[in-house]
């Protein structure tokens, strides 16, 4: 994925449209739907996308077009886990490993 993104600091919407392979209006729609994509604006109010924005947009395109997720499903997939959820998940993994170790020792 990173190899198709030119080594630049900022990209305009036309360049992003060509790189990602979707029309500009789709990119503007994804900005409204996915909070992870927030391009900067210059003085003339043109969108300036960073490299990280492009990587997220390519991931969104993969989820929607190739893996056939819905917008809501892709939003859930991209949503970062809250700290309590990740802590709970980690504790469950540790508990499972301890149970296995206990069985081995018995």
Residue 91: the pLDDT is: 87
Output 83 or 88, whichever has higher pLDDT.
88
Asked whether the whole model's pTM tops 0.75, one would answer no
Q: In the chain, where are the structural domains located?
A: 2-80
Of 3.30.1330.60, 1.20.120.160, 1.10.150.120, 1.10.1660.10, the CATH number of 2-80 is 1.10.1660.10
Residue 72: the pLDDT is: 93
Q: Is pLDDT of 82 > 70? A: no
Token couple for 55 = 């990587």
Residue 43: the pLDDT is: 94
CB 34 within 8 A of CB 75: yes
Is residue 79 classed as helix, strand or coil in its secondary structure?
Answer: coil
What is the tens place of the pLDDT at every residue in 25-78? 999 999 999 988 999 999 999 999 999 999 999 999 999 999 999 999 999 888
Q: Which residue bears the tokens 């991931």?
A: 59
């Amino acid at each position: 994925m990173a190899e198709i993104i030119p080594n630049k600091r900022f990209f305009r919407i036309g360049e992003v449209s060509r790189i990602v392979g979707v029309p500009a209006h789709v990119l503007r729609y994804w900005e409204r739907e996915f909070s992870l994509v927030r391009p900067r604006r210059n003085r003339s109010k043109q969108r300036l996308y960073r490299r990280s924005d492009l990587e997220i947009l390519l991931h969104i395109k993969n989820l929607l077009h190739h893996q056939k997720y819905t917008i809501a499903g892709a939003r859930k997939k991209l949503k970062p886990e809250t700290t309590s959820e990740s802590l709970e998940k980690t504790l469950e993994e540790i508990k499972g490993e301890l149970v296995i170790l206990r069985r081995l020792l018995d």
